[in-house]
């Protein structure tokens, strides 16, 4: 996979782990998976984001520290106490969804279909190639936290204003959370494992973890996996305002998402879709696929504490990180990059940092950044978009900044890549996602080494 365009990251150089780190790792690393049927590689990526649908453009904007947060103009938000979000503009599904379906679909499914098909294209699994493959061995697992929220809202409005006879026949199908995976499979003929997971903002990572296990168990060779969300609409924004979860920095939206900063006041809503093609190493090698990165493992846990607040002791998160490293066959000393959940909430940001410090005793060489500082919180899509950012960091050797780092919390002693991108050779990376309900998820990625 070529590096992102631009002078800072166009190099094709493959970086090697520092010798001292490699020696330390060899001394303590658990046994890693060797079976090519069970080793899982990433062969394709696709997204829809506030920065468009091109992977390199997306990552370059992140590297530049650009904010995608702006005033909402999709609906009249003038009477809302929060009037800004990471709203997608200028989205086009041309070439991916036919006009009739495009007009009917909820944006949640439009984003899913475009990101999913772009991921398949990126993996050299276009329609002609798929025709030659056993599509019963290729599955789809794209989750969402909210589902077709616009379709649901429209249906309820029709019921209240005009009666049940005016409800669209598409009301139920386009509202339910499994429809993204279903529609993508219908369009591509993929007949393998197919369903959705909905664990709020941890959704996409849960999907990666589950999809990997389908491959490891021999139930699929390829999985098209990620998350999708389109909740920047009155019901979504109003609902999160009611939860008192959102930043209210209406006078400076681009400064609102500020993970770990003392002046943070809540998260900023985002939207989009991020999808990976996960594949057994054996399958990828047999078809001569370009391998972008390797998925080493993951884990899921529950705080069992509160609907929206994290555990103050961070036990749910720290145990999830530990279990993910065990699943990956990785020692804590090998990890030198964390793409953090980092939503810019008062309790959540510090709970995550404390959990990270509990697992990683020496963080002197570690870097940790917050993608949401620029694109907002994509809810069920967040883990998908952040997995792509993590893999681009691995590929390019450059970490995007966490912007709006003006007055850091004193407990945050890990390098957050404040405000300006940094060159950093990623040895092993973890990507964290946590959701309402106490759902914790961590996935582990690394450069592919044969």
Q: What is the 3-state secondary structure (H, E, C) of 320-380?
A: HHHHHHHHHCCCHHHEEEEECCCCCCHHHHHHHHHHHHHHCCCCCCCEEECCHHHHCECHH
How far is residue 390 from each of residues 39, 45, 124, 386, measured CA to CA in Å?
19, 12, 21, 6
pLDDT at residue 312 in the model: 79
CATH classification of the domain holding 84: 3.40.47.10
Q: Does residue 201 have an active-site annotation?
A: yes
Q: Is residue 379 in a domain?
A: yes
Q: Is residue 6 in a domain?
A: no
Q: Is residue 353 in a domain?
A: yes
Q: Is residue 209 in a domain?
A: yes
What confidence category does residue 14 fall into, taking pLDDT thresholds of 50, 70 and 90?
very low
Q: 27 or 219, which is more confident? A: 219
pLDDT at 192 over 90: yes
Q: Is residue 35 in a domain?
A: no
Q: Which domain holds residue 251?
A: 42-446
- What's the structural domain count of the chain? 1
Q: Is residue 30 in a domain?
A: no
End-to-end CA distance of the chain: 16
Residue 300 Rama label (left phi>0; alpha psi -120 to 50; beta)? beta
Give this prediction's pTM: 0.92
**Model confidence over 288-335: pLDDT tens digits?**
999 999 999 999 999 999 998 888 788 899 999 999 999 999 999 999
Q: Is residue 144 in a domain?
A: yes
Q: Is residue 79 in a domain?
A: yes
**Model confidence over 37-47: pLDDT tens digits?**
999 999 999 99
Give 167: exposed, middle or buried? Use CB within 10 Å, 0-12, 13-18, 19+.
Answer: middle
Q: What whole-number distance in Å separates Cα of residue 65 and Cα of residue 55?
A: 16
Q: Say which of 9, 112, 201, 207 is annotated catalytic.
A: 201
């Amino acid at each position: 996979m070529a590096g992102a365009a631009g002078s800072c990251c166009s190099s094709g150089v493959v970086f090697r782990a520092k010798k001292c780190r490699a020696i330390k790792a060899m001394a303590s690393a658990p046994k890693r998976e060797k079976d090519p049927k069970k080793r899982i590689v990433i062969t394709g990526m696709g997204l829809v984001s506030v920065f468009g649908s091109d992977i390199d453009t997306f990552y370059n904007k992140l590297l530049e520290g650009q904010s995608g947060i702006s005033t909402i103009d999709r609906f009249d938000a003038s009477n809302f106490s929060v009037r800004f979000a990471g709203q997608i503009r200028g989205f086009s599904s041309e070439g991916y969804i036919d006009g009739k379906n495009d007009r009917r679909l909820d944006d949640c499914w439009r984003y899913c279909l475009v990101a999913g098909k772009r991921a398949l294209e990126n993996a050299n699994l276009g329609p002609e190639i798929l025709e030659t493959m056993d599509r019963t061995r290729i599955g789809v697992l794209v989750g969402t936290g909210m589902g077709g929220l616009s379709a649901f809202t429209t249906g309820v409005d029709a019921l209240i204003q005009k009666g049940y006879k005016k409800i669209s026949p598409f009301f139920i199908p386009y509202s339910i959370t499994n429809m993204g995976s279903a529609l993508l499979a219908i369009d591509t003929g993929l007949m393998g494992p197919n369903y959705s997971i909905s664990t709020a903002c941890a959704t996409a990572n849960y999907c990666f973890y589950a999809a990997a296990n389908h491959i490891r168990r021999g139930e699929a060779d390829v999985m098209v996996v990620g998350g999708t969300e389109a909740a920047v609409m009155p019901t979504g924004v109003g609902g999160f305002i009611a939860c008192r979860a959102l930043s209210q920095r209406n006078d400076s939206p681009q400064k609102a998402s500020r993970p770990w900063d003392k002046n943070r006041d809540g998260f900023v809503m985002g939207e989009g879709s991020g999808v990976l093609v996960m594949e057994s190493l054996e399958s990828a090698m047999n078809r001569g696929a370009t391998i972008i990165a390797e998925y080493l493992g993951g884990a899921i846990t529950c705080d069992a504490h509160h609907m929206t607040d994290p555990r103050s002791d961070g036990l749910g998160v720290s145990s999830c990180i530990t279990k993910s490293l065990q699943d990956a066959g990785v020692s804590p000393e090998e990890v030198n990059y964390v793409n953090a959940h980092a939503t810019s909430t008062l309790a959540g940001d510090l709970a995550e940092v404390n959990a990270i410090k509990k697992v990683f005793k020496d963080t002197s060489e570690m870097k940790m950044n917050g993608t949401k500082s620029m694109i907002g919180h994509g809810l069920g899509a967040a883990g998908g978009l952040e997995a792509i950012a993590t893999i681009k960091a691995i590929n390019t050797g450059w970490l995007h900044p966490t912007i709006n780092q003006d007055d850091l919390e004193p407990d945050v002693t890990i390098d957050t890549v404040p405000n300006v991108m940094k060159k950093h050779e990623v040895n092993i990376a973890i990507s964290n996602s946590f959701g309402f309900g106490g759902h914790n998820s961590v996935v582990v990625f690394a450069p592919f080494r044969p």
